[in-house]
């Protein structure tokens, strides 16, 4: 299940980063950079924070190839034209990536049994790449201006931690769903919203 989550998360955040670059009218290289940054930035920060000798992105290079493929494909004129006309795609992809990467990051440290540490690492994994990508795109990071963003991660990871001893996979799945649902509800009803410029 985690492999599937990682694959879907990488695809979702790669699309999210690439669409951000397209909206900011960056060139092909900028689109690739933002796609990769959004997909792997949070995990890279997490691995450095955990003092991991070789960050996961360089060990699991298959995901790197998937991200590269996605960011290149999204630049094909016919594909780019269809995606660029759908503004909600950015929110959908970003929300899916947020939910999946939150629980993936949380799982790396949940065995320590410290819920605060688990929430911190999980949230860092989910939002870190997006923050860097937004800075690269010269816009305010979504975590500071968008509809209930990091707080949805916190809630989902706490629930995941509470259910962890019952079933690891069930806890992971429920945690991701909670994050995604909270974020979608927040966007739909404008909860905690301070719209991007």
Q: What's the chain look like in SS3?
A: CHHHHHHHHHHHHHHHHHHHHHHCCCCHHHHHHHHHHHHHHHHHHHHHHCCCCCCHHHHCHHHHHHHHHHHHHCCCHHHHHHHHCCHHHHHHHHHHHHHHHHHHHHHCCHHHCCHHHHHHHHHHHHHHHHHHHHHHCCCCCHHHHCCCCHHHHHHHHHHHHHHCCCCHHHHHHHHHHHHHHHHHHHHHHCCCCCCCC
Residue 196 within any structural domain of the chain: no
pLDDT at 85 over 70: no
Q: How many residues does the chain have?
A: 197
Neighbouring CB atoms inside 10 A of 197's CB total: 5
Q: pLDDT confidence of 197, banded at 50, 70, 90?
A: very low
Residue 183 within any structural domain of the chain: yes
Residue 194 within any structural domain of the chain: no
Q: What is the pLDDT of residue 90?
A: 83
Residue 54 within any structural domain of the chain: yes
Tell me the residue range of the domain where 108 lies.
Answer: 2-188
For the stretch 97-149, pLDDT in tens is: 999 999 999 999 999 999 999 999 999 999 999 999 999 999 988 888 766 88
For the stretch 44-77, pLDDT in tens is: 999 999 999 999 989 988 999 999 999 999 888 8
The per-residue pLDDT of the chain, averaged, comes to 90
Residue 193 within any structural domain of the chain: no
Q: How far apart are the C-alpha atoms of 120 and 100, rounded to whole Å?
A: 15
Residue 9 within any structural domain of the chain: yes
- Distances in whole angstroms, Cα of residue 52 to Cα of each of 39, 63, 64, 122, 177: 18, 18, 18, 16, 29
Residue 99 within any structural domain of the chain: yes
The total domain count for the chain is 1
Q: pLDDT confidence of 95, banded at 50, 70, 90?
A: very high
Residue 197 within any structural domain of the chain: no
């Amino acid at each position: 299940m985690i492999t599937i989550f990682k694959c879907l998360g990488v695809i979702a955040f790669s699309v999210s980063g690439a669409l951000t670059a397209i909206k900011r009218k960056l060139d092909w290289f900028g689109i690739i950079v933002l796609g990769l940054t959004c997909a792997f930035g949070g995990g890279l920060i997490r691995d450095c924070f955990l003092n991991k000798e070789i960050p996961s992105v360089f060990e699991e290079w298959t995901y790197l190839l998937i991200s590269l493929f996605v960011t290149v494909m999204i630049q094909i004129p016919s594909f780019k034209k269809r995606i660029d006309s759908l503004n909600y795609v950015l929110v959908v992809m970003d929300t899916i990536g947020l939910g999946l990467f939150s629980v993936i990051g949380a799982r790396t440290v949940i065995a320590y049994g410290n819920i605060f540490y688990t929430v911190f690492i999980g949230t860092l994994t989910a939002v870190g790449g997006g923050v860097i990508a937004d800075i690269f795109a010269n816009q305010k990071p979504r975590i500071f201006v968008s509809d209930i963003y990091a707080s949805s991660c916190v809630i989902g990871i706490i629930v995941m931690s509470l259910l962890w001893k019952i079933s690891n996979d069930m806890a992971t799945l429920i945690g991701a769903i909670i994050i995604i649902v909270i974020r979608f509800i927040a966007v739909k009803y404008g909860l905690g919203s301070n719209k991007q410029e």
